[in-house]
């Protein structure tokens, strides 16, 4: 497992596990730039779902942000920054970009890069009765951006998202993060988001049909997400 750079001085980084993938920090955002059009899946409010993208952008908004039309707001920001709207996934967060944590790791079967911004001011435990809303949207508090240089079936891509979510929940449990409303151990926050991009390069090794915790790939994804969430939340005094 490697840490590509100190999170306080992120400017630009060329991935060691996915040739041509670059991470850059710009005005109010952190972006993953893929070398070509790439298969992706996830819950980004802009450009989410099962998509093909060239860029993932994690965008900072302050805690007073009005969420009347987040897709419109992201579209306007991406357009102002020069990102092509049709091939970009955009996520929102109230966590500042200097809190980002990035880890990457590879073996002969695949390379994985994980980028996380995390805050837990609205920590929540799934599976219990708590306050919910019909369809309201607020900026994501734990945003996970994953990049896998390897070959995955569509089912394995969804499996990878499950493993990432389990690892996030494990990190919160081990850190003792609680749901302030119910008092239970938080499994996430009320506004988390995750995106996964996969190169589907034959040079990346065999075709992965699974990405659960029993697989080498799932184990790697879980370790990186756990490490990145833990590091992003390292300063307890600034958790939001």
- Select from 232, 16, 41 the least CA-distant residue to 113: 16
Burial class (CB within 10 angstroms; exposed 0-12, middle 13-18, buried 19+) of 135: exposed
Domain-embedded: residue 239: no
Q: 156-173, pLDDT tens digit by residue?
A: 999 999 999 999 999 999
Domain-embedded: residue 220: yes
Radius of gyration of the chain (CA): 17
pLDDT classification of 8: cutoffs 50, 70, 90: very low
Give the Cα separation of 175 and 152 in Å (integer). Answer: 31
Domain-embedded: residue 36: yes
Residue 19 structural domain: 7-232
Is the predicted pLDDT of residue 91 greater than 90, yes or no? yes
pLDDT classification of 9: cutoffs 50, 70, 90: very low
Domain-embedded: residue 224: yes
Q: Please report which residue ranges of 10-144 form alpha helices under DSSP H.
A: 70-81
Domain-embedded: residue 240: no
In this structure, are residues 25 and 96 in contact, taking their beta carbons and an 8 Å threshold? no
Domain-embedded: residue 226: yes
Question: Token pair for residue 5?
Answer: 């750079």
Give the Cα separation of 229 and 223 in Å (integer). Answer: 10
What pLDDT is stored for residue 59 in this prediction? 95
- Both ends of the chain: CA-CA distance in Å? 27
Domain-embedded: residue 2: no
Q: How many helices (H) and strands (E) does the chain have?
A: 3, 13
Give the Cα separation of 51 and 219 in Å (integer). Answer: 25
Q: Would you tell me how many other CB atoms lie within 10 Å of the CB of residue 124?
A: 25
Q: 93-125, pLDDT tens digit by residue?
A: 888 898 899 999 998 889 999 999 887 555 444
In this structure, are residues 64 and 51 in contact, taking their beta carbons and an 8 Å threshold? no
More confident residue, 183 or 155: 155
Question: Token pair for residue 64?
Answer: 């007073």
Residue 115 vs residues 53, 148, 222: alpha-carbon distances, Å: 17, 12, 13
Length of the chain: 240
CATH number at residue 38: 3.60.70
Give the distance, in angstroms, between the CA of residue 43 and the centroid of all CA atoms in the same chain: 10
Give the Cα separation of 1 and 134 in Å (integer). Answer: 40
Domain-embedded: residue 1: no
Global pTM value: 0.88
Structural domains of the chain, count:
1
- φ/ψ of residue 209, rounded to 5: -95, -15
């Amino acid at each position: 497992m490697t840490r590509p750079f100190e999170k306080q001085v992120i400017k630009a980084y060329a991935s060691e596990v996915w040739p041509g993938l670059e991470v850059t920090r710009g005005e109010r955002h952190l972006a993953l730039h893929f070398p070509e059009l790439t298969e992706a899946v996830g819950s980004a409010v802009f450009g989410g779902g099962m998509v093909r993208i060239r860029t993932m952008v994690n965008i900072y908004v302050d805690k007073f942000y009005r969420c009347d039309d987040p897709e419109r707001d992201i579209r306007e920001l991406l357009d102002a920054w020069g990102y092509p709207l049709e091939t970009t996934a955009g996520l929102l967060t109230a966590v500042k970009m200097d809190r980002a944590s990035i880890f990457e790791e590879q073996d002969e079967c695949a390379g994985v890069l994980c980028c996380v911004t995390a805050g837990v001011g609205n920590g929540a435990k799934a599976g219990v009765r708590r306050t919910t809303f019909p369809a309201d949207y607020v900026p994501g508090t734990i945003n996970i951006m994953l990049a896998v240089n390897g070959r995955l079936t569509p089912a394995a891509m969804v499996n990878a998202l499950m493993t990432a979510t389990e690892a996030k929940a494990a990190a919160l449990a081990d850190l003792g993060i609680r749901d302030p409303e119910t008092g239970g151990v938080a499994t996430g926050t009320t506004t988390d988001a995750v995106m996964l991009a996969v190169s589907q390069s034959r040079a990346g090794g065999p075709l992965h049909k699974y990405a659960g915790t029993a697989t080498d790939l799932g184990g790697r994804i879980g370790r990186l997400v756990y490490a990145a969430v833990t590091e992003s939340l390292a300063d307890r005094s600034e958790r939001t």
